[in-house]
Structure 1
Amino acid sequence: MTPKEVLAQIRQREVTTVDLRFMDFPGVWQHFSIPADALTEETFEEGIGFDGSSVVGWRAINEADLLVVPQPETALVDPFTAQPTLTMICNIHDPITHQDYTRDPRNIARKAVAYMRSTGIADHCLLTPELEFFVFDDVRFDQRSNEGFYHLDSVEGAWNRGRVERPNLGYKPGSGLGYFPCPPTDSLLNLRSEMAQRMAECGIATSAHFHEVATGGQCEIDLDSQSLIESADQVMMARYIIRNVASRAGKSATFMPKPLFGDNGSGMHTHLSLWKDDEPLLAGHGYAGMSDLGLYAIGGLLKHAHALCAFANPTTNSYKRLIEGFEAPTKISYSRRNRAAIIRIPVSGASPRSRRIEYRCPDGAANPYLLFSAMLMAVLDGVQNKIRPGDPLDKDIYDLQPEELAKVPTTPRTLDASLDALRADHEFLLRGDVFTPDVIDTWIWYKQALEIEAVRSRPHPYEFTLYYDV
């Protein structure tokens, strides 16, 4: 929509409130609201000022002011508010220069697309995210000086098979056995269907939804392909819808990568394809039907795999998912079938238009604007420098001899290690001024100071099991 069309819709739908949303640095949607009659055509040009110092990872208190500039093409009526409310995603501008703010994740994504087009390699990058998440019925956690705990519960959790529920009907998927059961074992079908319906009403197309492998309410909803910025926008709106539909049903949805010990974690596998003049660029006659350009793209993702984990797996909890034995992608390799490889080339029919790369590392904690931008920059580096990906990993990793397995590099074991890799390998992200040195430095500082050190300095509950009687 144009600004005039947004204002017309406000009148037609009798909207009373306009909700302005923007992405903070770590990857959480922020918002504030204004009366609908305060929105004018000038607002779309001039923006609205707000305090950027209160947003995590942004301005210092002595230079706090920033502008939100609403983007009319993102306008939609919120399906959850009591009063008719129109929401818009905003870009962030500097109030003095009126230039895009360099730490605005959506701005970074816009620059990544512009850089891709400037290279002449492709004019479109399509992304297809798969959203995995848990739905719990009771969530309690706290951390104080004298206690630290979490407690999660789900009516379908395998740990509740023996609970007195009067009646306990027994339909609770076991650990690692939650994939594709029909109701009543899949107790969340109706909830997921409502989530998908609300997404459709908001213009977000989905291709499938189902119960995932873990017990305790793990679900997946797959989105359709969109261009990079639109895909990131839709990921954020889909997360918003999933959380609110769950909350209305008296449940809690989380995209935390590994909330349950001893069971599968939640990823955000992301499919990528490149296009030019409406022609697919990844299809060819090489391995798994890939073109040379497609294999170079894979080479770029593999070369920068350790650094990419800093954006694909951006929490300390992410690395509790990236361990052996739970179908997590831990091998820095590619394959047409092996899901232990971080890159899979899906078997998706003979049409060249269906050829794509599935990057399996990311999890739901990722900031999609930063993740998708970093993925694209790695792909472009691979194409520009004709980086060969080496041999594929088509063997079952459990059949490999120890000496063979030792030759296959693995994903980092900690967020600390990923940040070290990003510190050593980020030149490819700086091309076209897409990521700036300030963005890289701030990301590393924030993650180390406010997450890694915060977790490191606190006693872990399991340490009491190990050491209390030492």
Structure 2
Amino acid sequence: MSVENVLKTIKDNAIEWVDFRFVDLSGRAHHISLPAREVDEETFVNGVAFDGSSIAGFRGIEESDMVMMPDPDATFIDPFTAHPTLNIMCNIYTPDGERYERDPRSIAAKAEEYLQASGVGTAAFFAPESEFFIFDDVRYESSMNSSSFYVDSEEAAWNTNRKEEGGNLGFKIKVKGGYVPVAPVDTQQDIRSEMCRLLEEVGLRVERHHHEVATAGQAEINFRFDTLKKTADNLLVYKYIVHNTARQYGKVATFMPKPLFGDNGSGMHVHQSIFDGDTPLFYEKGEYANLSEMALHYIGGILYHAPALLALTNPSTNSFKRLVPGYEAPVNLVFSKGNRSAAIRIPVAAVTPKGCRIEFRTPDSTANPYLAFSAMLLAGLDGIKRKINPVELGYGPMDKNIYELTDEQKAEIRSVPGTLDEALDALKADHEFLLAGDVFTKDFIDNYIELKRSEAKAVSIRIHPHEYSLYFDC
């Protein structure tokens, strides 16, 4: 969309406020709203100023002035505001007009530019399957003398004896028993359908929605693939719609990877492929899973760099509560066709040449999508450049249920890091592939590791309630 068309949209829809948004290192969006009358062509030239020192991981107070530069191709009319509001995603620049090297969205743009300059292909396409929970109630506390969390859902297995319903209505979802049941077991058809309606209204093409495996309201909505940066934009819109629709229904949605102990967590399975114009480059009929040699090398790059990648694709301490065997968690660094126990699955059902892709199942939605998608692309391109063969390195193919292998067989399969600190150690040791084309910088990596180390430390030094069960009577 041109600037002229954006201004026309403001006029035609009687927009009162224009909301300028940017994303921080964690992937959370921030915004500043201007009266629509104050927005004109110069706004798209001069941008909107903000205080970078108030955003974790950005700038110190002595150099805090920063500028949001609106992207006219990333707009939508907000479906939740009482006053008509147009939302515009922005890139971040320094006051002297330089693209800010720590801006996640600019990193995604540089990743796309690097792909095109590499000669490998013209575009990388991404499609995340971002799972979430819809709860009725959430409460948590972490203080000097108290630490707790509590969530509840009318669907939850633990509520078979709840009396607050005025006569328990039954049909609760069993632990690991929530995959695509019909009503009345699935109570959230309408709320998911409303989320989808709003996603379509703001421009995303929804492909399907359904209840997911876990009890207590786990859900998934899939939207159509797009190019790297556009898909990251869409994922932020997706989370915004999901969070606010749940709130309108008097519920709360979370993309936290492991909000419940003892049941499946929420992942973000990322489908990806590379095209040269209209030609798919990952397809070769007759080969394993109809994968081209380029696709195999791309897989090799992701699996080889996976320990470091996880610092960006699974960047929370909670991420590693999900990444444990037995809950469909893709902890095994192998690839396989149609096998959901592998870190990389090759979809084979109803796949056309243009639909041939890989699915990296390890990531979750605590990831900043601009950083995570860019890092995956760079790892894959490094695999293509260095011709990393995943078969020769022992990364598969593994066409078995890995969870059913013997301990001796499992010991031969490399696994993901066990903690955020381990993933950060791996990133510190293995990040040269991210520096290709100056997509990421050494400054960004060092700053990111420092920021995430502080999160890991904040969790590690706090007393866990279960420690009282284990040790109070010592």
Q: What is aligned with 1:292?
A: 293
Q: What is aligned with 2:139?
A: 140
Do the aligned partners of residues 345 and 48 (structure 1) sit closer, same or farther apart at CA in structure 2, a change above 3 Å counting?
Answer: same
Deviating beyond 2 angstroms after TM superposition, the runs of 4 or more aligned structure 1 residues are 348-351, 398-402
Task: Give the Cα–Cα distance (whole angstroms) in 2 for the partners of residues 311 and 15 of structure 1.
Answer: 37
Secondary structure in structure 2 of the residue aligned to 1:18:
strand
Q: What is aligned with 1:379?
A: 380
Residues 124 and 227 in structure 1, CA contact (< 8 A), matched pair in contact too: yes
Q: What is aligned with 1:455?
A: 459
Task: Give the Cα–Cα distance (whole angstroms) in 1 for the partners of residues 375 and 302 of structure 2.
Answer: 9
Residues 348 and 354 in structure 1, CA contact (< 8 A), matched pair in contact too: no
Residues 173 and 215 in structure 2, CA contact (< 8 A), matched pair in contact too: yes
Task: Give the Cα–Cα distance (whole angstroms) in 2 for the partners of residues 181 and 401 of structure 1.
Answer: 33
- Aligned 1:354-365 pairs, distance under 5 A: 354-365=355-366
Q: What is aligned with 1:201?
A: 201
Moved more, 174-183 or 345-354: 345-354
Secondary structure in structure 2 of the residue aligned to 1:320:
helix
Moved more, 301-310 or 387-396: 387-396
Q: What is aligned with 1:332?
A: 333
The answer on 1:266 being equivalent to 2:266 is yes
Secondary structure in structure 2 of the residue aligned to 1:59:
coil
The answer on 1:245 being equivalent to 2:250 is no
Cα shift readout 1:407-440 (whole Å, capped 9, x = no counterpart): 0011111000000000000000001000000110
Residues 342 and 402 in structure 2, CA contact (< 8 A), matched pair in contact too: no
Secondary structure in structure 2 of the residue aligned to 1:87:
strand
Cα shift readout 1:351-379 (whole Å, capped 9, x = no counterpart): 21111000001111110000000000011
The answer on 1:446 being equivalent to 2:451 is yes
Do the aligned partners of residues 328 and 398 (structure 1) sit closer, same or farther apart at CA in structure 2, a change above 3 Å counting?
Answer: closer
Do the aligned partners of residues 452 and 79 (structure 1) sit closer, same or farther apart at CA in structure 2, a change above 3 Å counting?
Answer: same
| TM-score computed with the length of structure 1 as normaliser | 0.98
Secondary structure in structure 2 of the residue aligned to 1:74:
strand
Residues 341 and 403 in structure 2, CA contact (< 8 A), matched pair in contact too: no
The answer on 1:100 being equivalent to 2:105 is no
Moved more, 317-326 or 389-398: 389-398
Identity within the alignment, %: 49
- Aligned 1:30-429 pairs, distance under 5 A: 30-96=30-96, 98-164=97-163, 165-284=165-284, 285-349=286-350, 351-390=352-391, 391-429=396-434
Secondary structure in structure 2 of the residue aligned to 1:214:
coil
For 2:338, give the aligned amino acid. Answer: R
Residues 229 and 370 in structure 2, CA contact (< 8 A), matched pair in contact too: yes
For 2:295, give the aligned amino acid. Answer: G
Secondary structure in structure 2 of the residue aligned to 1:373:
helix
Task: Give the Cα–Cα distance (whole angstroms) in 2 for the partners of residues 14 and 348 of structure 1.
Answer: 46
Do the aligned partners of residues 126 and 35 (structure 1) sit closer, same or farther apart at CA in structure 2, a change above 3 Å counting?
Answer: same
Task: Give the Cα–Cα distance (whole angstroms) in 1 for the partners of residues 421 and 341 of structure 2.
Answer: 22
Residues 178 and 211 in structure 2, CA contact (< 8 A), matched pair in contact too: yes
For 1:435, give the aligned amino acid. Answer: F
Cα shift readout 1:45-91 (whole Å, capped 9, x = no counterpart): 11111110001110101000000011111122100000000110000
Cα shift readout 1:168-190 (whole Å, capped 9, x = no counterpart): 11111101000010011000010
Task: Give the Cα–Cα distance (whole angstroms) in 2 for the partners of residues 113 and 337 of structure 1.
Answer: 28
For 1:460, give the aligned amino acid. Answer: H
Task: Give the Cα–Cα distance (whole angstroms) in 1 for the partners of residues 172 and 118 of structure 2.
Answer: 52
Task: Give the Cα–Cα distance (whole angstroms) in 1 for the partners of residues 128 and 401 of structure 2.
Answer: 26
Secondary structure in structure 1 of the residue aligned to 2:115:
helix
Secondary structure in structure 1 of the residue aligned to 2:67:
strand
For 2:390, give the aligned amino acid. Answer: P
Task: Give the Cα–Cα distance (whole angstroms) in 1 for the partners of residues 225 and 351 of structure 2.
Answer: 18
What is the deviation of 1:337?
Answer: 2.3
Cα shift readout 1:261-307 (whole Å, capped 9, x = no counterpart): 00000001010010002100000132111010010110001110101
What is the deviation of 1:350?
Answer: 5.3
Moved more, 349-358 or 16-25: 349-358
Residues 348 and 355 in structure 1, CA contact (< 8 A), matched pair in contact too: no
Instruction: Name stretches of at least 5 consecutive residues in structure 2 with no aligned partner.
Output: none
Do the aligned partners of residues 350 and 139 (structure 1) sit closer, same or farther apart at CA in structure 2, a change above 3 Å counting?
Answer: closer
Residues 29 and 236 in structure 1, CA contact (< 8 A), matched pair in contact too: yes
Task: Give the Cα–Cα distance (whole angstroms) in 2 for the partners of residues 117 and 253 of structure 1.
Answer: 37
Secondary structure in structure 1 of the residue aligned to 2:73:
helix
Do the aligned partners of residues 29 and 410 (structure 1) sit closer, same or farther apart at CA in structure 2, a change above 3 Å counting?
Answer: same
Secondary structure in structure 2 of the residue aligned to 1:34:
strand
| 1:466 alignment partner, one of 467, 470, 474 | 470
Number of residues of Structure 1 aligned to a counterpart in Structure 2: 468
Cα shift readout 1:102-146 (whole Å, capped 9, x = no counterpart): 010000000000000000001010111112000000010111111
Residues 20 and 31 in structure 1, CA contact (< 8 A), matched pair in contact too: yes
Task: Give the Cα–Cα distance (whole angstroms) in 2 for the partners of residues 374 and 75 of structure 1.
Answer: 25
| TM-score computed with the length of structure 2 as normaliser | 0.98
Secondary structure in structure 2 of the residue aligned to 1:75:
strand
Residues 153 and 217 in structure 2, CA contact (< 8 A), matched pair in contact too: yes
